A and B are shown apart, each in its own frame.
Chain A
Amino acid sequence: MAVITFSINGEPVSGRQDESILEIARQHNIRIPTLCHLDGLSDVGACRLCLVEVEGTAKLFPACSTFPSENMVVRTDTDRLRRYRRTIVELLASEGNHQCAVCVVNNHCELQNLAYQVGLEHVRVQYLFPRKDLDASHRDYIIDRNRCVLCTRCVRVCHEVEGAHVWDIANRGINCEIIADMHQPWGTSDSCTSCGKCVLVCPVGALIEKGATVAEMEKHRAFLPYIMTARTKHEWIARAIEED
């Protein structure tokens, strides 16, 4: 595999041709905020938080699904990118109903952490307070669409790892929502194996275990790279899970 050398924020870096800018940045301890990306799942570039600037073009590129070329000049932390990232988090906050104080994942939430990272001291766009549904028909789990950020991690983990493909996306734009099977109550899904992977990968409190109360639910996600490493490399490395 060819090795590419290029620069991120003026620092010379190198990586394999099949590694994304995000992966290479992380190997060099350069932090790029992400939300839809999760180690062990394919990348879709849905959340746009990892957008980076590339010299020579006005277009912005999602670092998770952009691959470097020789001598590329990448910037990850310009004023423009910081402004856009904050705006993205503001739009996510305003398009859902995120009441941290009464959420099961309060203090363990990736959206909350992003809000702190981008310095979101208030939301400058108008809150939409949309009317969204909560589905508690499953025996063990709940999907609360009020808190969904449409990262599609649940869709991907169910399809790519569990192989059940219960979840999908219906509608477009502001009406986008995660649906089970043929747009039916989750509890009536024939394809759901009740494995709970979707619940664990959900970055927010949209997919949760029944019985958890405010700030009680912590999600551990190290199982995913463990499964995927075992599956692809036949190496069973449990250390990350023990530390998680």
Chain B
Amino acid sequence: MATSAKPRVATVWLGGCSGCHMSLLDLDERLIELADRMELVFSPIADVKEYPANVDVALVEGAVSSEEHEHMARLIRTRSRCVVSFGDCATTGNVTALRNRFSVNDLMKRSYVELAPGGPAMPSTVISPLADTARPLHEVIPVDAFLHGCPPTAEEIWFAVDALLQGRIPELPNVYLRYG
């Protein structure tokens, strides 16, 4: 990877619906400006397998809902200077946490056996085991900043990313503090 002075940014998709990433893409033409100002080193929309070292800013979407998510969250923390909870699921658990009232066994049976059309079977090897509960990111690792909304608006993302790329933790004005 070329050495550059540009901030190294990662975006991560844990237990969420990818709506926050969709909202990121809603930056529209501002994405072109972003491409000049940062280097995207890891993302669901970039073909990178391993979370790299020396990440400056990590935007993490989704609750921590499986063993893989927890492993990933810890890796992100050790390899990133600034970790941002990206949207309501990362910040509160939100929709991902709706399943917390059911046992994992009941959930898996319901999803993979009772509601499965044809060949119902519990997954064993491909999917990481679910954690007992889906939790907000900051209950698993320390988080430096929080973006709100389901999903956050493109304006809120822009405000935050702009500050982050200038090396500042964004102090979001109250107008962006909106759950749901």
User: Which positions in A face B, CB cutoff 8 Å?
Assistant: 93, 97-103, 106-107, 112, 115-116, 119-123, 126-127, 129, 131, 215
Contact = CB atoms under 8 A, between A and B. Distances in A.
B23 interface: no
Nearest to B175: A116
Interface string B87-102: 0100111110110110
Contact of A129 (B88, B101, B148, B150): B101
- Specify the main secondary structure of chain A where it touches its partner: loop
B160 to A, nearest CB: 12
Contacts of A112: 179-180
Contacts of B180: 100-101, 103, 106-107, 112, 215
B136 interface: yes
Contact of B174 (A102, A119, A123): A119
A115 B133 CA distance: 24
Interface stretch (B36-44, B74-82, B138-146): B138-146
26 contacts: A93-B92, A97-B98, A99-B92, A99-B95, A99-B97, A100-B88, A101-B88, A101-B150, A102-B95, A106-B180, A107-B180, A112-B179, A116-B174, A116-B177, A119-B174, A121-B148, A121-B172, A122-B85, A122-B146, A123-B92, A126-B139, A127-B92, A127-B97, A127-B136, A127-B139, A129-B133
A121 B160 CA distance: 14
Contacts, number: 65
Contact-size category for B = 20 to 34
B97 A129 contact: yes
Contacts of A101: 88, 94-95, 150, 179-180
B75 to A, nearest CB: 22
A98 B97 CA distance: 10
Given A101-B88, A106-B180, A131 B172 contact: no
**7 residue pairs, one from A and one from B, having the closest CB atoms:** A100-B180, A101-B150, A129-B100, A100-B179, A106-B180, A101-B180, A131-B101
Contacts of B143: 122
Contacts of A131: 101
B178 interface: yes
B8 interface: no
Interface string B152-180: 00000000000000000000101001111
Interface string B128-141: 00000101101100
A127 B135 contact: yes
Contacts of B88: 100-101
Contacts of B135: 127
